[in-house]
Amino acid sequence: MNTRTEVMQHDPVAPGLYSVQGVNPFEDATPTRNAKLPSDARIILEMLDRINSGQIHITLPDGQVHHCGIGNEGPVVDMIVHDWSVFGEMIARGDIGAAEAFIEGLWGTDSITRLLTLVACNRNALSKAIHGRRWQLLSSWVLHRLRANTKRGSKRNIMAHYDLGNSFYKLWLDETMTYSSALFCDHEHPDQADWEALPNAQLAKNNRMLDALDVKPGDTILEIGCGWGGFAEQATQRGAHVTGLTLSPAQQDFAQTRAERGGWQNQTEFLLTDYRDMQGQFDHIVSVEMFEAVGERWWPTYFRTLKQRLKPGGRALIQVITIDDTLFRQYRRGTDFIQRHVFPGGMLPSPSVFCEQAGRAGLKVTDDLAFGLHYARTLGLWHEAFCERLLEVKSQGFDDRFIRLWRFYLAYCEAGFRAGSIDVHQFTLQA
């Protein structure tokens, strides 16, 4: 059995788990492989038959059930397709087409996380379905480029995600209000962590960064992308002064209120400022999962800014999601579901590209911690919490379509970490 998937949990029960109505259509289905199929469906099913780790049992719109996959080991996942057009969307537009069809309720599954992980672990066999036809993906590629992270575009793109409302994120983030990977104490078995372990794991992640930087009382820290102020709060407990940058008014307001209530407002300032407009120098710079939103065009600017804002001999710690080096070339030529629907204008670096870009700016990578399976578990816990609070999500005005989008997003990311196609690193840089 694939060790990356064997410990995965089933998705939490939620309305719309199998279909728009939320009922289980698999119970009375009869398997068959003989009926005539539309050409798009036949292409996808033949492709899925190449799966060599796990199986997918697919119920088609006419009630047929196809058992896809030649592997006897790995997860078995049920999927139901309500409309034949789903197969054409998968062929034409890859993960974007599959995601949008799921968002519209045109297909469902007993576990969106296990299904997407199975697909990710069988990437080579399913590459055509994952990436789609290049010419039909052109419109998504163009739209992604039009949402580039200029100073104006960056603010618009960030607000599109983070200004959904502090109350929305409070529903399913833990009490630390941290929207980045945790670092669990059991490094070998992060999947054994439960919800109660998540706050301490978020604090441990921040403490690990402060230790790596060797932060001392009186040190100044520039935090590029300060979130809701969790890291700043811990840094002030060590006597540091933190200047936090954000482009989200909602996050700025929350962080300022948090500092005032905690009594550490004199050690922090939270600015609604683009990192490119910041002046001055600092002992340290921290940036947690903000680099992904910079955009490839501005990577040299980002690293030059780090170099300019650090005092001589200063250190930066950048926590960043990366894509596998072997996948980077193809990834950078296209547009995926995350870029299209969740983080417009963003792009992941590969580990080697990140280090190369840092080196060009005169920054040396002195330490590198990778902990992708910790992020997989973090996402799984967020997904569980999100599904437990669906009534409250809806009470805030979010509809079923948004809920399916958000569930696909959380599962899509978890699948990537479990399959190893993406990872998360803490890179320590020396000026």
pLDDT tens-place string over residues 336-360: 888 888 877 789 999 999 999 999 9
Residue 21 pLDDT: 37
Same domain, 219 and 332: yes
DSSP labels, 194-250: -GGGHHHHHHHHHHHHHHHHT--TT-EEEEES-TTSHHHHHHHHTT-EEEEEES-HH
Reported as type and span, the H/E element at residue 299 is helix 299-309
Same domain, 341 and 405: yes
Q: Residue 354, exposed/middle/buried by CB under 10 A (0-12, 13-18, 19+)?
A: buried
Residue 427 forms beta bridges with which residues?
318, 368
Q: What is the pLDDT of residues 204-242, one digit of tens each?
A: 999 999 999 999 999 999 999 999 999 999 999 999 999
Same domain, 79 and 190: no
User: Residue 368 belongs to a domain with what CATH number?
Assistant: 3.40.50.150
- Number of domains composing the chain: 2
For residues 228 and 208, the answer to whether their CB atoms sit within 8 Å is no
Q: What is the mean pLDDT of residues 154-182?
A: 78
Residue 340 pLDDT: 80
Q: How far apart, in whole angstroms, are the C-alpha atoms of residue 143 and residue 339?
A: 10
Give the tokens for residue 80: 């139901």
Q: Choose among 159, 293, 301, 287: nearest CA to 224.
A: 287
| Domain annotation covers residue 139 | no
Q: What is the CA 162 to chain-centroid distance, rounded?
A: 14
DSSP labels, 247-273: S-HHHHHHHHHHHHHHT-GGGEEEEE-
Same domain, 113 and 149: no
Under the banding of pLDDT at 50, 70 and 90, the label for residue 16 is: very low
Same domain, 257 and 348: yes
Q: Categorise residue 74: left if φ over 0, alpha if ψ from -120 to 50, beta otherwise.
A: left
- Which amino acid belongs to residue 94? G
Same domain, 107 and 152: no
Residue 1 scores a pLDDT above 50: no
Residue 20 pLDDT: 37
Same domain, 76 and 194: no
Question: For this structure, is 355 an active site residue?
Answer: no
Q: How many CA atoms lie within 13 A of 417 on its CB side?
A: 26
Provide the angle, in degrees to the nearest 10, between the axes of the packed helices 198-213 and 372-388.
140
Residue 28 scores a pLDDT above 60: no
Residue 2 pLDDT: 36
Under the banding of pLDDT at 50, 70 and 90, the label for residue 379 is: very high
Same domain, 176 and 197: yes
For residues 273 and 248, the answer to whether their CB atoms sit within 8 Å is no
Q: Which residue has the higher pLDDT, 10 or 360?
A: 360
Classify 427 as helix, strand or coil.
Answer: strand
Same domain, 266 and 290: yes
Q: How far apart, in whole angstroms, are the C-alpha atoms of residue 260 and residue 266?
A: 9
Q: Indicate yes or no: pTM above 0.95.
A: no
Residue 79 forms beta bridges with which residues?
58, 109
Q: What is the pLDDT of residues 189-198, one digit of tens each?
A: 999 999 999 9
**40 is in which domain, residue-wise?**
30-132
**Least confident span in 42-56, 148-162, 301-315, 347-361:** 148-162
How many other C-beta atoms are found inside a 10 Å radius of the C-beta of residue 342? 19
| Domain annotation covers residue 19 | no
Catalytic residue among 121, 355, 387, 413: 413
Residue 392 scores a pLDDT above 80: yes
Q: Of 132, 156, 183, which one is at a domain's C-terminal end?
A: 132
